Amino acid sequence: MPDSWRLAVGTLTVLRGPAPRCVDRRTAGAAMLIAPLAVLPLGAGVALVLLAGRAAHLPPLVTGMLAVAVLVLGTRAFHVDGLSDTVDGLTASYDRERSLAAMRTGTSGPAGGAAVLLVLGLQATSMAWLAGQARGAVLVGTLVCVSRCALALTCLRGVPAARDDGLGAVFTESVPRLAAATSMLLSFVAVGLVTGWAGLPWWRGVIAVALGLVVTLLLVRRAVRRLGGVTGDVFGAAVELCLATLLVALAGATS
């Protein structure tokens, strides 16, 4: 467990700590399962920024954009880069090898750039809307953490790797199905409870999580069909899309 914790924190946040002594499939799978806990500092940071912006009477959208900036900086733009590369790869060609080559370049094309702009814009505006009251900021911080449950689905056993090298090769197929199901159940409970505490119908939180999981599974399915499997970039895209879905679904509950 110490190695899994070090791997999760070191991979998913900018927090510095000792490197894991052993990185095998079992360690990687455990790291993906505890990912929501490993990013608790990021969730807390987002909540604090939203609360500070509200206290300073900043324009809501400015506060939302600052909160997204905390996430981007707190992850070294790791997931945003994955979103951009994944979209570029899926739109570059119907040929698998050409798509994977486009994802490896590390440069953002028009499709990837547009996807990042759209997804981060949805996140910022939804955060601003939900943070209209103090408890809403805590709800947003919770959603940041829960969105990392998407990683358990991308690393689920039975979901192949698109290639044998790269970051994704170690993590792919590392999460047992029962463990992933347990993680999903806990995410339903956590978001339902915090949503109710924040003054919204608890069942809207459950629906939001369900939608987030559906979007993640659709992305995984598309990646497997087009690329032959998932990559580290797909992991990042899944996190960003899941978070955007959670935020938009619950922002709609406050309208």
CA dist list (Å): 160 to 164, 209, 248: 10, 24, 30
Q: What is the C-alpha separation between 30 and 11, in angstroms, rounded?
A: 13
Mean predicted confidence (pLDDT) in 14-20? 78
- Most confident of the ranges 3-12, 162-171, 181-190: 181-190
- To the nearest whole number, what is the mean pLDDT of the chain? 90
**What's the pLDDT score for residue 167?**
65
- For 177-189, the pLDDT digits (tens) are 999 999 999 999 9
Q: How confident is the model at residue 108 (pLDDT cuts 50, 70, 90)?
A: confident
21, pLDDT greater than 80: no
Higher-scoring residue by pLDDT: 105, 62: 62
Domain boundaries, the chain: 24-254
Residue 56 backbone dihedrals phi, psi, to 5 degrees: -85, 0
106, pLDDT greater than 80: no
**What's the pLDDT score for residue 163?**
82
Q: What is the C-alpha separation between 77 and 126, in angstroms, rounded?
A: 20
Output the pTM of the full model.
0.94
Higher-scoring residue by pLDDT: 167, 73: 73
45, pLDDT greater than 80: yes
9, pLDDT greater than 90: no
255, pLDDT greater than 60: no
The pair of three-digit structure tokens given for residue 5, joined into one six-digit string: 């914790």
- For 212-232, the pLDDT digits (tens) are 999 999 999 999 999 989 998
49, pLDDT greater than 70: yes
**What's the pLDDT score for residue 254?**
66
**What's the pLDDT score for residue 166?**
66
Nearest to 1 by CA among 14, 22, 13: 22
Q: What is the C-alpha separation between 171 and 161, in angstroms, rounded?
A: 9
